[in-house]
Chains A and B, each alone.
Chain A
């Protein structure tokens, strides 16, 4: 069971993580996709690094840049955190592409991907780990499961997410009430399997990953979380809904033609 370390302060543990390279396989990898996040990325890294270090277990942070044109990359490079890996993209290819690159490069036994805006505070991490400890391969944060608390979500996002959820559950029979929350935890084996085969580069990649989890009979659980709608969200609810419906059809077609039957991407790590 993952618990906070008690012998050292979280500040001491953070400083240790920030300056001493871990010598063993990480227990946890945290992947943050980032596209033009100069205003949000440093507080997010600070919050995540403090919390994840407090467990006293080896962990790594991977920021997968998606072709940012602002100062996101420079800000992260200046941090000089020895256990932070920055993956720089040649151009903007989409959130799914960034998450895939980061997850496949991750070395941890458990791999979390978390949005850069901290809409799901990192303190919810333990709840997802409990789901893995209970025997699941994938645990997703859910804004729709019973017990979830959602603050400041715009009406348009609520309408679209409810509608899409009904379609996903009805058509795809994915037993998850919220496929799109950007806070998901995988075992390393599940991460390699799912992200080694998924193909979609845009916001619908979450749906595709969960579709594949169902296809390959992985155990998936969802956990209600506290979620805060962060201002400056890049989600255009209407546009994403249209793309989502399009991608539903693409996922089905990909499966029909056998595109998921073998690995499409190989983890770059040795």
Chain B
């Protein structure tokens, strides 16, 4: 899975993922998210346009990141999830937990 960052300000950043987001990619994702949050960026936009699949461990990481951001007064939003990811969010009932833009 590829992870890139864009449009970074002091408090906000968009992190774009590409490929399959599963247990093999959760360590790298967590490191990137934690690095941003620890540097003071508490508004994260996770772009899922190019993500073809998310498994339960990936979803758990998204939830974890969201909770961390909200505890610090920010948020973690999901940007333009691909169709399979959107369906997975619906089936797992997580579509109501996140702000999706």
- Verify B92–A50 contact, CB threshold 8 A: no
Please determine whether A50 and B87 come into contact, CB atoms closer than 8 angstroms.
Answer: yes
For B20, list chain A residues within 8 Å (CB): 121, 228
Q: Is B24 an interface position by the 8 A CB rule?
A: yes
Q: Which residues of A contact B22 (CB under 8 A)?
A: 228, 230
Residues of B5-54 at the interface with A, using a CB-CB cut-off of 8 Å, are 20, 22-24, 52-54
Q: A47-B84, A47-B88 are in contact. Are A152 and B24 (CB under 8 A)?
A: yes
Whole-angstrom CA separation of A262 from B59 in the bound complex:
48
Contacts of B90 in A (CB 8 A): 46
1/0 contact string of A31-50 vs chain B (CB within 8 Å): 00000000110110111011
Closest Cβ of chain A to B58, distance in Å, is 8
Cβ contact of B24, chosen from A10, A50, A51, A151, cutoff 8 A: A151
Separation in Å of the B17 CB from the closest CB of chain A?
A: 15
A123–B52 CB distance below 8 A:
yes
B48 to chain A, nearest CB (A): 13
Q: Looking at the complex, which one of B55, B56, B84 makes contact with A50 (CB distance below 8 Å)? A: B84
B91 within 8 A of A: yes
Say if the beta carbon of A238 comes within 8 Å of chain B: no
Q: How many residues of B contact A (CB 8 A)?
A: 19
30 contacts between A and B (CB under 8 A): A10-B83, A11-B86, A11-B87, A14-B83, A14-B87, A39-B56, A40-B56, A42-B92, A43-B55, A43-B56, A43-B59, A46-B84, A46-B88, A46-B90, A46-B91, A47-B52, A47-B53, A47-B87, A47-B88, A49-B87, A50-B83, A118-B55, A121-B52, A123-B52, A151-B24, A152-B24, A228-B24, A230-B22, A230-B55, A231-B23
A110-143, CB under 8 A of B: which get 1 and which 0? 0000000010010100000000000000000000
Closest chain B residue to A11 by CB distance?
B83
A49–B91 CA distance with the chains assembled, in angstroms: 11
In angstroms, how far is the closest chain B Cβ from the Cβ of A50? 4
A93 near B: Cβ within 8 Å?
A: no
Nearest residue, chain A, Cβ from B56: A39
Whether the pair B56, A46 counts as a contact (CB closer than 8 A) is no
- Which residues of chain A have C-beta atoms less than 8 A from B55's C-beta? 40, 43, 118, 230
Interface string of B71-101 (1 = CB under 8 A from A): 0000000000001101110111000000000
> Cα distance A19–B91 when bound, in Å?
13
Which residues of B have CB within 8 Å of A151? Answer: 24
Decide yes or no whether A69 CB sits under 8 A from chain B.
no
Collect the chain B residues with CB atoms within 8 Å of residue A51's CB: 84
A79: CB under 8 A from chain B? yes
What is the bound-complex CA distance between A228 and B52, given in angstroms? Answer: 14
Contacts A40-B56, A230-B23; is A79 near B91 (CB within 8 Å)? yes
Contact A43 B83, CB 8 Å, known A151-B24, A228-B24: no
